[in-house]
Amino acid sequence: MKVAVVGTGYVGLVVGACLAETGNDVVCADLDAAKITSLKSNKLPIYEPGLEPLVTRNQRGGRLAFTTEVGAAVERSDIVIIAVGTPPDEDGSADLQHVLAVARTIGQHMNRPKTIITKSTVPVGTAEKVRAEVARHTTTPFHVCSNPEFLKEGAAVEDFMKPDRVIIGVDSGESAKMLEELYAPFVRTGNPLIFMDLPSAEMTKYAANAMLATRISFMNQVARLCEAVGADVTLVRKGIGSDRRIGPAFLFPGPGYGGSCFPKDVQALLRMGEARHVPLDILTAVEAANERQKRLLFEKLERHFEGKLKGRAVGVWGLAFKAETDDVRESPALVLVEALLAAGATVRVHDPAALETARRHLGDRVSYAGQAVDVLAGADALAIVTEWLEYRNPDFSRMRQLMRRPLIVDGRNLYDPDRLAKLGFTYDSIGRRLACASS
């Protein structure tokens, strides 16, 4: 099939490359000329495992192309996928200006019937707004579909190639048949291709992310209570996760959720509820709990130094909001670093992929380390924020020698408290007892 993907951000680039990999003729269009020039040279604007080989291979094979000519991309395609950003507006609602601008361009270049797919995360009712905007500029018949993405950063290629389900909102049997053919290579193992009406498809994306955010905030609150009563959240998590009605996913306590999806989508769903006078009290609590959780690591450090962090040297491992990505949007690590700087601490940071993206936010106010061990020399504390694999089995003896004070505040519960205590560390994790060298 001839497919145009408008938008070469995280979603658009993954979607375009994966559709090309299954034999489709794909062109990805974006108004950012510098980005398109880089993509033509196989230089990606994001870090995502497995994506660069797909882009390189499919460009070389002639199945994937990049252009700044959005109108021309629309004209040569039978399917047009809208994958531009929907950033939060001032009130937290989704900003649809980019989506509707693409719809306008599609309408202006509608040279034959087409199927238009909204892949961007958009509020309920957006598909009809897209339909209306396209119709203002053409009398050529077209179909509008909603096909929300469920791509986890760090595993996006695998998620697209082997989805646990594909959600598609359609307005006709004809468009359903076309999309069934498009997605057939990805659901051969039997995972469902679920067709539904347009509003339900749009709502499914928000409901899914809100549920996952709720599980994270719930478990983080349970972890706080575990510390207060002397329980171990690791054991509690195993206990409740083994219940088939609950399951183990998204029950790991941490420093709060971040990234481009959960914070934005929870806010957008709250705004949708307010606009229709439907209070979503649970999500109000989820959002508040997450904001508190992002302060937790700083509060732990502050307690260890009795509120006197000025002049203290703190190393930070992990800046991305999660491992296997360079995305620092809404990252708990940035909240921690900003709080440390405000308290007068000096901060040295490391991340395997996100140093450059973090530099845009932090500038020269922190020191950047090329190797994880480089943040430790003379450090009064180490804070672990992101669960990169390379942090899981460090050389503790060397760490102990380098640090001025052997204090580790671990936001990901990577280590065994008893082992760290025996090695001479004070080890403060989330939802577990404080481990000290003398204990």
Q: Which residues are catalytic?
A: 261
Half-sphere exposure of 304 (CA within 13 A, CB side): 25
- Other CB atoms within 10 Å distance of the CB of residue 34: 10
CA distance 405 to 381: 6
Exposure letters 349-383 (e unless 16+ CB within 10 A, then b): bbbbbbbebbeebbeeebebbeebeebbeebbbbb
Of the CA atoms within 13 Å of residue 129, those in its CB half-sphere come to: 16
Report the alpha-carbon distance of residue 67 to residue 89 in Å, rounded. Answer: 28
| DSSP E strand stretches across 300-345 | 313-317
The CA radius of gyration of the chain, in Å to the nearest whole number, is 24
Residues paired with residue 314 on neighbouring β-strands, in sequence order: 347, 381
**Dihedral of alpha carbons 212, 286, 48, 51, sign:** positive
What's the CA gap between 318 and 324, in Å, rounded?
A: 11
Structure tokens at 231: 């329980």
User: Residue holding tokens 């057939």?
Assistant: 184
**CA separation for the pair 139, 141 (Å, rounded):** 6
